[in-house]
Chains A and B, each alone.
Chain A
Amino acid sequence: MAKVLNEGDVARMRKVLLELLDRSEADGCVVCDSGGYVLAQEGRGTTDPLLLSALGAGVFAASRELARILGEDEFSAVFHQGERKSIFLRAVTPEVLLVIIFSNTANVGLVRLYASPAALAMRAVFEELDAGVHRDDPERAFVLTEGGDLFGAAPPDKDR
């Protein structure tokens, strides 16, 4: 079955992420799951959250395999440092990941410091979600649109 976020879940996650951005002075952050789905995003520097999630989930999964080689259960965090921008990835649950993007004017120590409580607060959201605690989901009425093929080649010389 699908992972489902309602308005309340999104609002709680948004509060956690905005607080994290405010305190750590990071540019932006994305919450994604191990399958690469974008669960939430806030801030700047996340212009392509879909790609960020796909690659972030891949990187973190690869790091988990590396950890296993070393006899660790996992690396709880992964840090990629660039000249201008850096990325910090932090496990929220075994299935959910927090990706934080920050410019190098921000302090990596602050990002690391505030990533942990943010991950904990986020974990509570997902644990309740998984446990189905007090769910107030909207009516789940999904109706497929009528019509032919969803995808097709663009007509020549148009929109190309």
Chain B
Amino acid sequence: MSFVNFSKREVQLKIVYYGPGLCGKTTNLQTIHATINPHAKGSLTSVATSKDRTLFFDFMPLVAQAIDGYTTRFQVYTVPGQVMYNTTRRLVLRGADGVVFVADSQWSKTAENVESFADLEENLRLQGDHIDQIPYVLQYNKRDLPDVAPVHYLEYTLNNRAARRPAFMAVAPDGRGVFETLNMIARMVLNRFVKQHSRREAESPEMVLV
């Protein structure tokens, strides 16, 4: 759920990076934080274990001039991917305006990807949202590894709903696909926000595969 402060002429929107453990959610944020224009970012904060696994969330605020006359602040979070942290995932997902589902492209991670996507659907449902109604994009990460599933297979397993969503191939540590993913979800979230406030029905997003 977005937030508008007319007094400060400010809009706040929340984007959550979701996906199985070790799929590269935190790496996405680290790459964005390391390379983005300094004027657009705040500090990147990670609540992690001593072994750098996300325990609670990573958080990074971004600012943009995306709406005429308003400062637009994106609050970007990751969830902890490990199965046992489902309660935490639900807490972080609360009020999300958009989701990036980061999938690990390796064949061996197929089951974890599918399980995590089902987990996302369920957690959205529990907070009164529906996966088909919320803006989300998919990112097929780790495309540089040797044993990756072909994109059409990932599309078949993860992007086979009635309205197919934008999907991006990525190598998060190198930055490949990282900003494409971020820009797409930011635009989708903004479009939905503007449409909701124009009291028009949202259109189904078209599929984009990069």
Contacts and interface: CB of A to CB of B under 8 A. Distances in A.
Interface of A: 1-7, 9-11, 33-39, 48, 50-51, 54-55, 58, 61-62, 65, 137-138, 140, 142-145, 149-154, 159-160
A68 to B, nearest CB: 10
Contacts, number: 146
Interface in B37-75: 37-40, 42-43, 45, 47, 56-57, 59, 61-62, 64-70, 73, 75
28 contacts: A1-B196, A2-B2, A3-B1, A5-B3, A34-B94, A35-B1, A36-B59, A36-B75, A50-B75, A51-B43, A51-B45, A51-B61, A58-B56, A61-B91, A62-B88, A65-B91, A137-B6, A142-B11, A142-B68, A143-B67, A145-B67, A145-B68, A151-B37, A151-B40, A153-B36, A153-B37, A153-B175, A159-B38
B202 interface: no
Contacts of A2: 1-4, 11, 193, 196-197
B61 A149 contact: no
B87 A144 contact: no
The dominant DSSP class at the B interface is: mixed
Interface string B94-122: 11100000000000000000000000000
A10 B91 contact: no
